[in-house]
Amino acid sequence: MQSNSTTAYQQHDHHRCLKAALAQARQRCAERKARLTPIRESVLHLLWQSHRPLGAYKIIEQLSAASGKRVLPPTVYRALDFLLELGLIHRLATLNAYIGCPFPDSVHSDYFLLCRECGSVAECSAENVNDAIVATAEEAGFLVEKQTVEILGLCTPCQEKTRK
């Protein structure tokens, strides 16, 4: 099982997360001969400000604020599409929001732990979950192509805070 749940929910040197993500992005783009343009990098950068997902229009706002000029939806959606395509970010269907992928390299049928209290999201790749899903789908004769697994709940720190 692969997961960034410890870093996502705890105090940590987030600068390292950001740096690692950008490095991986650059490498991946080089491999695929894709261009990590300034806009695309800015969007990725924004998504890695924290482990909290960001809606497309929040990105538009922040990008507009940062650049001083009005950024329009297609600009951001195009960047998001590009990053999604490369597996550098994910879209969270239950939140209509986007988040950076902490391990774009591993081929993942991944799932997400969304803390309803602090808003942070961790990503996991757990084989047993994947196996269970594929096995059960198979029982129904269903061919699995893409999984969307989003778990809402409380992360460890927020459980402790709530208990008080």
Selected from 11, 38, 139, 164, the binder of a second copy by CB under 8 A is: 139
| Sheet of strand 111-115: strand arrangement | 2-3, 121-125, 111-115
Does 71 contact DNA by CB under 7 A?
yes
- Residues that contact a second copy, how many (by CB under 8 A): 41
Selected from 3, 7, 64, 75, the binder of a second copy by CB under 8 A is: 3
Does 40 contact DNA by CB under 7 A?
yes
φ, ψ for residue 24, nearest 5 deg: -60, -40
Instruction: Tell me how far the alpha carbon of residue 73 is from its chain's centroid.
Output: 20
Cβ-contact 88, 28 below 8 angstroms: yes
Does 2 contact a second copy by CB under 8 A?
no
Selected from 3, 22, 28, 39, the binder of DNA by CB under 7 A is: 39
Query: Tokens for 68?
Result: 């001083």
Q: 147: Cβ–Cβ under 8 A, 6 or more apart, which residues?
A: 109, 111, 130, 133
C-alpha span between 131 and 81 (Å, rounded): 29
- Residues that contact DNA, how many (by CB under 7 A): 26
Stretch of 26-34, 35-43, 72-80, 138-146 lying at the interface with a second copy (CB under 8 A): 138-146
Selected from 27, 67, 106, 148, the binder of a second copy by CB under 8 A is: 148
DSSP string, 43-58: HHHHHTSSSS-B-HHH
By the criterion CB under 8 A, which residues form the site for a second copy?
1, 3, 5-6, 9, 93-94, 111, 113, 115-116, 122, 124, 126, 128-129, 131-133, 135-137, 139-156, 159
